Structure 1
């Protein structure tokens, strides 16, 4: 009888253990570590891949995973915005004769009209505009880290094949590739906001988000001189290939070392995971729908329209300079592309410094109750955009190279105050 009871108890355990595994809410890697005490010594058993293993074996593996995520995102934005500098640097060597740094004259490869160049310059932004709102829904429904990696990776791959589109002399193919680039890269900003939904503790959200998003400005600071150098000393296609290859490599690394939530990361420390989850608290799993969003309240909201106008004004000048600053410096100021790349980066570098200073100043004025939050935002936005407009007019009518560049630096720098006030 005793042996029968022992067999019955063993049978119940064999049934109950699989059921417990199926009903457990713990992530797979935690379940494994709970069942096997030896698994705690090898957290790489779950979701393991070679790139993650290599990174964990270096000093990088000792860093906080949320900061690794922020730095990788910064690099992704640098590549994304660097890509947008490529055509602006290359176009003057593509459809106009030029002299290389060694004094040799080259004939242009393309016979474009101004209208054709305008269409090719704007094609990217047609696609970029379309995916802004849908990307918010996608970032809520799918893992946002995967969506961000998809946007940068596919956009970079399209950058590799873009020179072949140019060489085909098919304007429609070029426009199509650039529209597709805009479509996939339009998801990047909404996706990154979705990433911080799970990874950024409230008291660190500003620092983590700023670390990631400043990659866009750093992309312009690096992209303009690097693209100019490659166009001048290698070929007009070189920046497309370089940024494309770097973007594809970055995407592979991103997909291997980032995870949707801290609970899914196989090598995150228990201390960091618990800290993030406790700080953020419960994250709603319900997804927004077309019907659940208060469209009427959004469309009739004055603050919403103020934000739209401010963002439009900021984006207009920023992308205008990315596409045409080097052309302006070559054709209006008579500078060589090879010599103007570093100079072209100075305005964006100054803007980055002003953004940091302006943010600190805005917080100081608000925290010390010198000005209200509303007053700070109005003064910084209106002052920043007003100053930018004034100095851009000086650039337009300036006849001196020095005054034009100083006014351009001042204009872009003033826009940094507007960013701080947003």
Structure 2
């Protein structure tokens, strides 16, 4: 007797009627509109998230050329590190609850409410800085993290409903590339604002809220019981957690500390700092499109989805690791050479969008949002630790101390991706459909008894 497990509805090819009902124009469907909205949500979220990395340079730079009458704060390195990482305190705490709420209530509504509240808290930062110093800023940033904790789980939940398996790499990359595009526009605009009109305007400009225009597929919506034990005892899931932690260490070390490195070591001024800091993320955003197209093309040519995910992620992690090692061997960091290496290091990280970042949906379309909330929760702790460790290593404007930071990031990139290569998977897991999994187990028991 052979027991067949039916695939979940998301994996079935759409009927002709369904295709026609989700078309906008020839070649474009509702799913493309959804992905555009996801992209804009990521842009908004990352502008609010990373603007502090550039703003804090202006807020603490005593030798500024601008004569704007805004306060300059004499914060210690540890206090600046606390401000940068405080966002992730709230962000990590609410990851798993956000994933659960998105699954049982509404990912669209949760995402819209979170974006609105995050924008309100962001606009308050200049005021609370004046009255409450860095502690008040940290409180605001914790609140922003709490509000933005729903961003990735909600988008993953929505993608799992709208993105066909053959288009996951493409649509997922377009959605998540909003993070790089947000960074690209945030850094130079922040630098220009700080140099020309004053640092408080960084927080006023990046205060647009995401419109609640996204839409969920709600046909025959049922809430499935989350198989927590199966998820946390899954080897591919733990490979995903580890590689996500490796990604966050390298990515957030660079994104939070790059403006400081550009200012202290490469000696770029405020305006130059913003533009040069954005350049690596512009390249990453541009590279994300050919990489996602190649990933989907390889899938059409019957190349294993697992191979595609691991190759893309290897490019994304081992490529930057080699670049950072090369940068670390330099005793003197020439601005042009160092910037070129950082462009390569960050740009190649685009492969992660078609690598581990979409792998949650491969393993379990039904629980992709919950899985993303778990991996992102643990990886967010890494994002808290990485800048703190960086500031413990770099306690003065010393190029050799920065070399240690880059060596460490490279080593973590290599180790995390190695574990993903060995233990990662792209096959749908049995616990994706708990009811069918239970039926299979019961049938196996009955067959054993017989």
Q: Please report the TM-score for the alignment, with normalisation by the length of structure 2.
A: 0.66
Q: How does 1:293-308 map to 2 (within 5 A)?
A: 293-295=227-229, 297-308=230-241
- Give the 3-state SS of the residue equivalent to 1:98 in structure 2: coil
The residue number in structure 2 matching 1:286 is 223
Deviation at 1:224, TM superposition (A): 1.0
Query: What is residue 194 of structure 2 aligned with on the other side?
Result: 231
Shift of 1:183: 0.9
- 1:129 pairs with 2:92: yes
Deviation at 1:332, TM superposition (A): 0.7
> Retained in 2: the 8 A contact 1:217–1:352?
yes
**Kept in 1: contact 2:176–2:353 (CA 8 A):** no
The answer on 1:88 being equivalent to 2:53 is yes
Helix, strand or coil at the partner of 2:90: helix
CA distance in structure 2 between the partners assigned to 1:131 and 1:367 by the alignment: 38
Residue aligning to 1:392: 324
Q: How many residues align?
A: 329
Q: Contact 1:326 / 1:337 at 8 angstroms: preserved in 2?
A: no
Question: Any gaps of 5 or more consecutive residues in structure 2?
Answer: 1-23, 357-450
Larger Rg: 1
| Residue pairs, 1:20-419, within 5 angstroms | 66-100=31-65, 109-196=72-159, 199=162, 207-244=170-207, 246-247=208-209, 250=210, 254-255=211-212, 257-261=213-217, 283-288=220-225, 292-295=226-229, 297-369=230-302, 372-398=304-330, 399=332, 400-419=334-353
Whole-Å Cα distance in 2 between the matches of residues 207 and 407 of structure 1? 27
Cα–Cα, structure 1 residues 416 and 99, in superposed 2: closer, same or farther, change >3 Å?
same
- The change in CA–CA distance for 1:105 and 1:128 in structure 2 (over 3 A counts) is closer
Q: Deviations over 1:75-115 (max 9, x none)?
A: 221111011222111112212313336xx598962121111
Distance verdict in 2 for CA 1:385–1:177, change over 3 Å: same
By how many angstroms is 1:159 displaced?
0.1
CA apart distance, 1:385? 1.1
* Matched residue, 2:354: 420
Hey, what's the Cα distance between the residues in 1 that align with 2:132 and 2:329?
36
What TM-score do you get using the length of structure 1 for normalisation? 0.70
Cα gap change, 1:302 to 1:100, in 2 (>3 Å): same
Instruction: Say which SS state the counterpart of residue 320 (structure 2) adopts.
Output: helix
| More displaced stretch, 195-204 vs 338-347 | 195-204
**C-alpha distance in 2 between matches for 1:105 and 1:190:** 41
The separation in 2 between residues aligned to 1:374 and 1:333, in whole angstroms, is 40
Structure 1 164/388 Cα, relative in aligned 2: closer, same or farther at 3 Å? Answer: same
* Residues 178/391 of structure 1: CA separation in 2 closer, same or farther (3 Å cut): same
**Larger relative contact order (CA 8 Å, sep ≥ 6):** 2
